[in-house]
Amino acid sequence: MLDEMANELENNDVHLDPKRVGRILEAVESGDGQRLEDVLDGLHPADIADFLEQIDESGREAFFSLWSGDAAGDVLSELDEGLREEVIGFLDPARLHAAVRDLDTDDVVDLVEDLEGVQKEAILGALEDVDRFAVEKALTYPEDTAGRLMQRHVVTAPEDWSVGQMIDFLRDNEDLPDQFYHVTLVDPRMAPVGNVTLGRMLSARRSALLRDLTEETFIPIEATETDENVAYAFNQYHLISTPVVDEGGRLVGVITIDDAMIVLSDEHEEDLLRLAGVGEGSMSDNVLDTVRVRLPWLAVNLGTAILASIVISQFADVLASVVALAVLMPIVASMGGNAGTQALTVAVRALATRDLTSSNMMRVVRREVLVGLVNGVAFAIVMGVIGWLWFGSAVIGAVLGVAMIVNLLVAGLAGILIPVVLERLKFDPALASGTFVTTVTDVIGFFAFLGLATYVLL
């Protein structure tokens, strides 16, 4: 895919492809600063960050000892959080100082919130007083809230201004944010009352009043709102930027879509990784970090696997006398686990996008049960016949078929109910659902199959 992208964007030459990575690495090895500057030419800071994530620590150190480009601040803020502390260590104080001063305050907040001690102080110390105040203020809001995401620099206007007044004001203002898409109208108490898009303002007469041009969808967000709800609102209502207010309803900042998009992307990643039993994980983690993240989840799985084994051990007699059961029993468990994971994943996704609510819960539960029943009967027939032919015993085939129906029914039910219950209990449904669902389908699968076999065959 990268190759295609590379070819298609070739004339722009603003992207990172394996060839470019190779050329940068060669330049770093050559120790020639000018050559490095040349191969980096036109590369976006996000791509330089990606490059740094794809090489190892010694490579990053060599890169920063050679590179004197002025995008260090942007590269830092694009970089994977796990690597920032390391890279900050490679920058001398003057360089760090310059890098940090170039950033918007919301990017500085994002940078310092994971740092501690000396590094945090170094970054805060590099800021001008007004920016430092803004960053420290943002850090007083809890992590993962709108207050941490917002930029304090907002373009506002009194409610009664005209388009002409606003355009003149903007033109005379030396200190505007890098990117802004709206003018936010505020009342005398500084409470936001409406957003006017710049496009709409530009197409209006100078004499038009801003309050007659406000957008229909206007959703101020409280600074203590979770960033997940912020991302939801941006996605649901197609917002580009929206004001942030304190508990008194007064304007304290603005969140723009690029920040919301990052949150949304992170939420997706979290759901995906948690469903797979990985809390977090990136390509730049080392072996020990990776083990530390994955081992606990495997340990939980070991516990549930042992539970399933204990169920099996209750049926040692029938297993010893009919070895076909040992051969066939993983099929029942595997089918149940897969069907459960299907129902579960659809449910977790729907909870995240708020498509599964108390309004349609019962209908969805009913659907999952019916789906489990239909799939169960279908595979019961197939496996009944296979079991019969394979081991020449219609009874084994019948036991296998009945166990399949029971387990796929249970899988559908567990797949929908477990995430819903976790959500109600205020847990992240993605976090533990997978383990619970496969535990249920393993235990029920083995129990139904071997229990029925014992009853019929012994």
Separation between Cα atoms, residue 72 and residue 100, nearest integer Å:
8
Sheet holding 156-158, edge to edge: 156-158, 182-186, 192-197
Within 13 A of 347's CA, how many CA atoms are on the CB side? 35
**240 and 198 in contact (C-beta within 8 Å)?**
no
DSSP letters spanning 336-403: HHHHHHHHHHHHHHHHHTT-S-TTTHHHHHHHHHHHHHHHHHHHHHHHHHHHHHHHT-HHHHHHHHHH
Instruction: Check residue 294 for interaction with a copy of itself (CB under 8 A).
Output: yes
Among 30, 65, 68, 313, binds a copy of itself (CB under 8 A): 313
Among 29-37, 87-95, 131-139, 280-288, which window interacts with a copy of itself (CB under 8 A)? 280-288
Amino acid found at 340: G
Four-point Cα dihedral 229, 159, 179, 11, nearest 10? 100
Among 121, 130, 142, 298, binds a copy of itself (CB under 8 A): 298
**232 and 220 in contact (C-beta within 8 Å)?**
no
By CB under 8 A, what part of segment 215-244 binds a copy of itself? 217-220, 222, 225-226, 228-229, 232, 234-238, 240
Helix (H, G, I), strand (E, B) or coil at 319: helix
Separation between Cα atoms, residue 324 and residue 131, nearest integer Å:
72
Nearer to a copy of itself, 127 or 308 (CB): 308
**Short-list 326, 314, 310, CA closest to 396:** 326
Separation between Cα atoms, residue 56 and residue 58, nearest integer Å:
6
Separation between Cα atoms, residue 5 and residue 141, nearest integer Å:
40
Please enumerate in sequence order all residues whose Cβ is within 8 A of that of 218, keeping only pairs 6 or more positions apart, or say none: 194, 195, 242
Among 126, 135, 186, 350, binds a copy of itself (CB under 8 A): 350
By CB under 8 A, what part of segment 6-25 binds a copy of itself? 8-9, 12, 14, 18, 21-22
Among 2-10, 26-34, 106-114, 136-144, which window interacts with a copy of itself (CB under 8 A)? 2-10
Instruction: Check residue 164 for interaction with a copy of itself (CB under 8 A).
Output: no
Binders of a copy of itself: how many residues, by CB under 8 A?
Answer: 134
Among 254, 383, 414, 422, binds a copy of itself (CB under 8 A): 383
Among 130, 316, 394, 421, binds a copy of itself (CB under 8 A): 316
By CB under 8 A, what part of segment 415-444 binds a copy of itself? 423, 438, 442
Q: What stretch of H or E contains 81?
A: helix 81-90
The distance of closest approach from Cβ of residue 130 to a copy of itself in the complex, given in angstroms and rounded to an integer, is: 19
Nearer to a copy of itself, 65 or 236 (CB): 236
29 to 48: interface string for a copy of itself, x by CB under 8 A: ---------------x-xx-
- Calculate the alpha carbon distances from 247 to 81, 138, 141, 244 in Å: 30, 14, 12, 10
Among 27-35, 82-90, 125-133, 359-367, which window interacts with a copy of itself (CB under 8 A)? 359-367
Extract the tokens encoding 320. 């010893």
**Short-list 229, 244, 232, 84, CA closest to 151:** 244
Among 32-40, 110-118, 134-142, 315-323, which window interacts with a copy of itself (CB under 8 A)? 315-323
Among 85-93, 117-125, 128-136, 170-178, which window interacts with a copy of itself (CB under 8 A)? 170-178
Among 81-89, 106-114, 119-127, 368-376, which window interacts with a copy of itself (CB under 8 A)? 368-376
The distance of closest approach from Cβ of residue 17 to a copy of itself in the complex, given in angstroms and rounded to an integer, is: 8
55 to 84: interface string for a copy of itself, x by CB under 8 A: xx----------------------------
Nearer to a copy of itself, 111 or 329 (CB): 329
Among 88-96, 98-106, 133-141, 363-371, which window interacts with a copy of itself (CB under 8 A)? 363-371
Instruction: Check residue 362 for interaction with a copy of itself (CB under 8 A).
Output: no
**172 and 164 in contact (C-beta within 8 Å)?**
no
Nearer to a copy of itself, 364 or 448 (CB): 364
**308 and 337 in contact (C-beta within 8 Å)?**
no
Instruction: Check residue 371 for interaction with a copy of itself (CB under 8 A).
Output: yes
Nearer to a copy of itself, 250 or 294 (CB): 294
The distance of closest approach from Cβ of residue 128 to a copy of itself in the complex, given in angstroms and rounded to an integer, is: 20
Separation between Cα atoms, residue 386 and residue 73, nearest integer Å:
64
Nearer to a copy of itself, 44 or 132 (CB): 44
